[in-house]
Structure 1
Amino acid sequence: MAKHLDLEEQEQLAELRHFWNEWGNLITWILIVVFGAIAAWNGWNYWQRTQAAQASALYDEVERAAIAGDTARVERAFADIKDKFARTAYAQQAGLLAAKVMADKGNTDGVKAALGWVAEKSSDEGYQAVARLRLAAIAVEAKAYDEALKQLAGGFPKDFESLAADRRGDVYSLQGKKAEAKDEYLKAYKGIDERSDYRRIIEVKLAALGVDTQSIAPAPAGAASGVAKS
């Protein structure tokens, strides 16, 4: 019986050796690839967490400098986070915050540079939209209406479409282009929920152009109940 079991074991070992000779290298490489991918994924996640933590610390520095009203410190901290962590949301938030601080201090060139960077480099459409709307407002203040319309051209995220249309209406109105202004105000009006306070503002603008808003079809179902902050 023992000899019989020994023969069976030898046969199994022989089959196992044959299998390994046939498939061993392939199995080894598959395991290397699988465990390598797992290690790479874990490494990527660790790198992402590290980047986020470091970017958060720099954003806190921008925020503290902003509260203190220290423009020079804001610019330095923003430059650091932009250079080292440009792809993070913290960098894009820092750009918007830096622009606000510099606007309060009357540094128009600094504002335009910060907003321009966010508008061009941000991977978030919302941040891009806010930056473009603010750049358009700066251009309007400078009476650079063509530049304002350039910032307001192209697509905007759905939450910003009505606000962009309203701003385009303002630009056309300032240019004396009443027909174009009316068209843009109507787009804005129709895209906003009728319960929104912002809609009342657009009603006033339309009334100034001789439009009776009572005759306008109600906003479609699912329209934004408000307007994203710009």
Structure 2
Amino acid sequence: MATHLDLEEQEQLDRLKHFWATWGNLITGVLVVVALGVIGWQGWQYHQRSKAAGAAALYDEMLRASESGDTARVERALADMKDKFAGTAYAPQAGLLAAKALRDKGNAQASQAALAWVSEQASDPGYQAVARLRLSAELMQAKSYDEALKLLDKPVPKEFEALVADRKGDIFLAQGKRSEARSAYEQAWQGMDAQDAYRRMVEIKLNAVGVDASTLKAKP
């Protein structure tokens, strides 16, 4: 019986050796690839968490600088954000915050540059749209009407389309183009929900260009 078991164990051992000789390198390679993948994924997650923490700290620094009116610190913080954390969610927020702080201190050029950066570089289309609307308002105040309209011709998420139309109406009206302004305001009014408080402001603008909003048919 012992001899039989020894022979059986030897046969199993021989099979195992044969199997490992045939597939051992492949199995080892697969295990190495899997291990490297796990290590790489964990490293990437750690890197992302580190970046997010750094971006959050820098955003807080910019917020304090903005509240104190220190535009030099605001500009330095924004430059660091662009350089080190441009791909984080804090970057477009920082750009919008910096633009407001710089605009409030009368630095229109730097404000417009910050908004232009967000409108071009933000990964979120919503932040891009907000930046374009704000930048178009600044360009309109600077009487750069054509540049503002060109900026607003770029596609935006559907929820911003009515606001873009309203801004175009303002620009056309500033140019003395009442017909184009009327069409833009009508588009804005029709694109807004009946419960939207800003729709009332658009109605006032429509009245100013000779349109009674009650005669318009709202879009479904």
Deviations 1:6-27 (A, max 9, x none): 1111111111111111111111
Partner of 1:140: 140
Contact residue 194 and residue 219 of structure 1 kept, 8 A: no
Q: Report the Cα distance in structure 2 between the residues aligned to 1:150 and 1:9, rounded to whole angstroms.
A: 81
Partner of 2:151: 151
Partner of 1:175: 175
Instruction: Normalising by structure 2, report the TM-score.
Output: 0.96
Partner of 2:81: 81
Partner of 2:23: 23
Partner of 2:120: 120
Q: Report the Cα distance in structure 1 between the residues aligned to 2:216 and 2:35, rounded to whole angstroms.
A: 63
Q: Report the Cα distance in structure 1 between the residues aligned to 2:208 and 2:126, rounded to whole angstroms.
A: 31
Gaps of at least 5 residues in structure 1 are 221-230
Identity of aligned residues (%): 60
Q: Report the Cα distance in structure 2 between the residues aligned to 1:24 and 1:41, rounded to whole angstroms.
A: 26
Letter in 1 for 2:168: R
Evaluate the alpha carbon distance shift between residue 100 and residue 94 of structure 1 in structure 2; reply closer, same or farther with a 3 A threshold. Answer: same
Where do 1:46-85 residues align within 5 Å?
A: 46-85=46-85
1:217 shift after superposition: 2.1
Letter in 2 for 1:144: S
1:85 shift after superposition: 1.0
Letter in 2 for 1:121: Q
Aligned: 1:211 with 2:211: yes
Aligned: 1:39 with 2:39: yes
Instruction: Normalising by structure 1, report the TM-score.
Output: 0.92
Letter in 1 for 2:189: Y
1:35 shift after superposition: 1.3
SS in 1 for 2:58: helix
Q: Report the Cα distance in structure 1 between the residues aligned to 2:75 and 2:84, rounded to whole angstroms.
A: 14
Contact residue 193 and residue 219 of structure 1 kept, 8 A: no
Deviations 1:4-61 (A, max 9, x none): 1111111111111111111111111111111111111111000000000011111110
1:79 shift after superposition: 1.3
Q: Report the Cα distance in structure 2 between the residues aligned to 1:204 and 1:109, rounded to whole angstroms.
A: 32
Deviations 1:165-219 (A, max 9, x none): 1000111122222222122111111111111111111111112222222222234
Partner of 1:228: none
